[in-house]
Amino acid sequence: MNSEFVPIAEVTRGGAVESVHHGAAVVVDKDGTVIAQLGSPDLVTYSRSSLKPFQVLPTVLRGVPDRFGLKDRHLALMCASHSGEERHLQAAREILQAIDAREEDLRCGVHIPLRYLHEDSAVPAKSSFSPLHNNCSGKHLGMLALARILGCPFEEYLELDSPVQRLIRERAAGMLGMKSDAMQVAIDGCSAPNYAVPLRALARGFARLAAAAGPKPATDDECHDACARVVSAMRTYPEMVSGEGRFDLDLARGTAGRVFSKAGGEAVECAGIPECSWGIAVKIIDGSARAVGPVIVWILRELGLLSQAELMALDMYVNPVLKNHRGLHIGTIRMIGKLTRAAG
């Protein structure tokens, strides 16, 4: 067994163990010091959509929201893996109009909106979808807005060596405490460049975002205000970052915004806790998203970061139950890992 990841959760059916999810998790402070871990903090994984709060920073730093009259709910959508609900589509259309772009300029591709999966509802007959329905359309609109500010051709905004992607790569690397050439690059599901980094780097990035929600440091940090605005947007408009029936929104509501989080594909999840400036990063090795929410909530509970009222509000993740297509209770997901606290 690879020592970088360990058994983290098991799935039962009728009282017997049917499946086991392996993974790794780490909690760090804004300086990257490990607070707690499960498996190796150095496990390398693609960041996937958990990178979005960092990808939007150059857009904010270049003054895009103010230049185009965009609000924080639009900024939250730029950080989103949205569900294609009407509120998401309306905000996306508003950004599109503000930056004088067309739907055809979006190069994220088209898929069935996530809302149908999480609502467990059928796609209406004769439905047609556009790139705006793609869960990553907000991110791409932010990139197009940055391209507009930079004077770059829209058709080149996803190119790895375009000014847009160079700015994003450098800023993301800085937030993660890495050198940009140390991040392995590949293409994400939405066709944008994505980067493989150690879990501890992702957690540190979210800790730095969380820290930005506090007082501005005495030392000059040009990114502080941009980070603070991104975090504020995510905490104020969590319904724009995620969607109904999804973990990121449930966690935000269950903690009244004390904790913000961002899911990524293949069971990556990151969270930030502003009150202590800590960041959390989790990776489930088999890519199963069903274990992600319970693991994050378990970590928060183990660290004493959730009140009894919050645990009650998040009971579906504290005591996750599996049901079949008739709604019958057929099993559970239970934590079997051991979160190790750092000495001192």
pLDDT tens per residue, range 228-286: 999 999 999 999 999 999 999 999 999 999 999 999 999 999 999 999 999 999 999 99
Residue 285 maps to a domain: yes
User: Is 280:296 a contact under the CB 8 Å cutoff?
Assistant: yes
Distance, in Å, from the CA atom of 306 to the CA atom of 81, rounded to the nearest integer, reads 25
State mean pLDDT over 86-93. 98
State mean pLDDT over 313-322. 96
Task: Name the E strands within 167-212.
Answer: 184-187, 193-198
Q: So what's the pLDDT on residue 119?
A: 77
- Cα dist from 339 to 19, 21, 173, 296, whole Å: 20, 15, 27, 12
| Residues whose CB falls within 8 Å of the CB of residue 143, separated by 6 or more in sequence, listed in order | 55, 59, 157, 158, 164, 168, 192
- Cα dist from 94 to 73, 75, 248, whole Å: 11, 12, 24
Q: Which residue has the tokens 């998203």?
A: 289
Task: Name the E strands within 47-206.
Answer: 184-187, 193-198
Of 62, 58, 117, 46, the closest CA to residue 84 belongs to: 117
Q: Name the average pLDDT for the chain.
A: 95
User: Is 106:62 a contact under the CB 8 Å cutoff?
Assistant: no
| Paired tokens of 156 | 């080149």
- 330 phi and psi, to 5 degrees? -120, -10
Q: Give the other-Cβ count within 10 Å of 14's Cβ.
A: 7
Q: So what's the pLDDT on residue 125?
A: 73
Q: C-alpha dihedral over 72, 77, 82, 86, to 10 degrees?
A: 70
Distance, in Å, from the CA atom of 274 to the CA atom of 260, rounded to the nearest integer, reads 9
Q: So what's the pLDDT on residue 116?
A: 83
pLDDT tens per residue, range 198-225: 999 999 999 999 999 987 775 557 799 9
pLDDT tens per residue, range 1-29: 457 999 999 999 988 999 999 999 999 99
Residue positions counted in the chain: 344
Q: Which residue has the tokens 């030392």?
A: 219
Q: Give the other-Cβ count within 10 Å of 80's Cβ.
A: 31
In which domain, by residue range, is 142 found? 6-341
Q: What's 250's domain CATH number? A: 3.40.710
Residue 1 maps to a domain: no
pLDDT tens per residue, range 118-159: 777 778 877 789 999 999 999 999 999 999 999 999 999 999
| Paired tokens of 317 | 């993740």
User: Is 106:155 a contact under the CB 8 Å cutoff?
Assistant: no
Q: Based on the structure, what is the number of domains in the chain? A: 1
Distance, in Å, from the CA atom of 134 to the CA atom of 10, rounded to the nearest integer, reads 32
| Residues whose CB falls within 8 Å of the CB of residue 178, separated by 6 or more in sequence, listed in order | 197, 201
Q: So what's the pLDDT on residue 15?
A: 86
